[in-house]
Amino acid sequence: MSTATLTIDLTALADNWRALDRKTQCETGAVVKADGYGLGAAQVGKTLAKAGARKFFVAQAEEGLALRDALGPGPEINVFSGHMAGDAEVIRGAALTPMINSTDQLLRQMEALPGHPFGIQLDSGMNRLGMEPAEWAALRDIVLAQRPTLVMSHLACSDAPEHPTNAAQLKCFQDMTHGIDAPRSLSATGGILLGADYHFDVTRPGIGLYGGRPFKDARPVVTLDIPVIQTRELAAGECVGYGDSWTAQGPTVVATVSGGYADGLLRAIGKTPGRAGFYHEGQRLPILGRVSMDLITVDVTALSEVPDTLRLIGEAQGVDDLADWADTIGYEILTSLSARYARYYQG
């Protein structure tokens, strides 16, 4: 079989949620947008619900509908994009809670779904989603009279603890929500790690659940094993791959594995010679030449016997290592992992 195997450790996922929950004295939700960060929202959601999560967050109403089908009635499913035109039927039918971002969305919600639960998203300085301070000041009394389920904002720089924007956003959020009796939420994974001042009533961990930075104590959730299709022996001076981008300096055994940028293994991970690699039984094996659409070449000279598969993601290196090689972030690596992989859930 030439299909790579993506193994998702649901026990590790649940353990990461519990570890983040223990860092606060408030309720801990879970962000499962983008199909559970690429790992399957149904499986991820059910695992986290069993662990104790009762508030879930998705990006779009359609994601909320799919998650409701998986979770059934009970857990609260919040939609970051709010109430978009055409969403009313889905919001009502799936019992979703839109996070209202603007005056237009508030009017749409009140006209189409009077009495239906909703939350509010405030812009505390990220300038992305949410009501700005002046807009919120004009609508605050009207909104609070409707008893929103949650008032939230989002931190722009929480992965950099010393960044001054964190304190500025905290103060802005405190000022905008002073005196309200609705539950408040400011922090995702990075905000949880900033400390109790940022926790409020609900936290919304995302990337930390899936084993990514900035949660350094996270258990790895993803393992990716890629089959070896062919091996060959190169003499000094022979080249590998497109553009002859790597040249053997001496006798080299090369394995070609069945994965590439069509599988979410970004072409950029191979751009710096010697930086990226696979693993087998603790032995690091450098990637040679360019990552192509379906194939990657690997130096396996150090192995006495070439195995059937080589490991790219696992205990020895995680999604953030791949991200570093490609000058991106672990979020992009996770959400790019291919539908071609054979997926196995354990735990």
Active site members: 33, 242
SS3 assignment, position 343? strand
Cα–Cα distance list, 283 to 226, 280, 290, 316 (Å): 15, 5, 21, 10
What number of other Cβ atoms are within 10 A of residue 16's Cβ? 27
Q: Is the Cα dihedral 335, 337, 343, 345 positive or negative?
A: negative
Count of Cβ atoms closer than 10 Å to residue 139 Cβ: 16
Q: Which residues, in sequence order, are CB contacts of 324 under 8 Å at separation 6+?
A: none
Q: If we measure between CA atoms, which residue out of 187, 207, 153, 156 comes closest to residue 34? A: 207
DSSP at 324: H
Contacts of 107 (CB under 8 A, 6+ apart): none
Calpha distance 154→165 (Å, rounded) = 12
Residue 233 CA from chain centroid, whole number: 40
Number of helices (H), then strands (E), belonging to the chain: the values are: 11, 19
- C-alpha to C-alpha distances, 253 to 1, 249, 310, nearest whole angstrom: 22, 12, 14
